[in-house]
Amino acid sequence: MSAFDTSMSPLHLTLTLGASIFLAISLNATADEWPAPIQELEQQGLRIHGEFDAPDGLTGYAASTRGQTVAAYLTSGGEHALIGTLIDAEGQDVSAERLEQLVNGPRNAELWQDMAGQHWTRDGDEEAPRIIYTFSDPNCPYCRQFWEDAQPWVESGEVQVRHLMVGILKADSPEKAAAILNADNPGRALAEHYRSGAMPDTEGGEQSEEWVSENTQLMRDSQLHATPATFYQDDNGDVHSVMGAPSPDKLRAMMGSNKP
């Protein structure tokens, strides 16, 4: 994965319950919507999205910070909070599904609408029923890998991948992205670039440079720090995200079928 340069949040903690690592935060009460310890976590930088049931007298809170989901747990007495991963006897994260529903689901659905309104270039048939959006940097090897991996589905006519070209990885990334978007056939230019590294004969123009800037700003505003950042809808219409080049299992889920 290619990434923005980000600093660690002071709230970046890792906990594993069921092992030997345990952290408790004891906080003073304040009067507001959430219990006092959760309010304090908000003040330290967590955004609280919702509450969910958790085992052993704990109350779970779905939260996010710097674009990453995190679970917070309130103890039964209401005076202490835990941040991190709560696992069961099989090693499964008990909060994963609820975090997806309460944090990623609404956030991804909103971003899906935003991406549809951006200037993107299509790889595949415009009539292809399955739509995928991905933020792509021309210098990102993982973006190239994803482009290659998606080709069987794209060539089958079942999937179209809409690339939002951004410039984050190298100094010439914005220039290259703008040139691709300014080509006579941007989709073909993108494919040729990812296939062979070639760039179109034409350079970027003022309009295509603005499109790249807008795409990059949307990515930053969405707290996405790496490319490719890819989004797809499942059969229920729920929007999911995949960061980096997807694994084979993730790729099949994204494309909605086995390789043609």
pLDDT in tens, 125-150: 999 999 999 999 999 999 999 999 99
- Domain holding 166, by residue range, is 117-255
| Residue 92 in domain | yes
- In a 10 Å sphere around its CB, with 0-12 CB exposed, 13-18 middle and 19+ buried, how is residue 255 labelled? buried
pTM equals 0.72
pLDDT at 31 over 70: no
| Residue 110 in domain | no
How many domains would you assign to the chain? 2
Residue bearing tokens 């090693």: 91
pLDDT at 45 over 50: yes
**Residues, the chain, total?**
260
pLDDT-wise least confident of 4-8, 152-156, 234-238:
4-8
Residue bearing tokens 């029923």: 129
| Residue 111 in domain | no
Tell me what pLDDT residue 115 has: 97
Q: How far is the C-alpha of 200 from the C-alpha of 192, rounded, in Å?
A: 9
Clarify whether residues 96 and 128 are in a common domain: no
Q: Of 102, 136, 155, which closes a domain?
A: 102
Clarify whether residues 183 and 247 are in a common domain: yes
What does DSSP say about strands 159-165 and 121-123: parallel, antiparallel, or unpaired?
antiparallel
Q: How far is the C-alpha of 10 from the C-alpha of 249, rounded, in Å?
A: 34
Top pLDDT among 169 and 14 is at: 169
* Confidence category of residue 73, pLDDT binned at 50, 70, 90: very high
Clarify whether residues 126 and 241 are in a common domain: yes
| Cross-strand bridge partners of residue 133 | 162, 231
Tell me what pLDDT residue 32 has: 57
Q: How far is the C-alpha of 189 from the C-alpha of 201, rounded, in Å?
A: 10
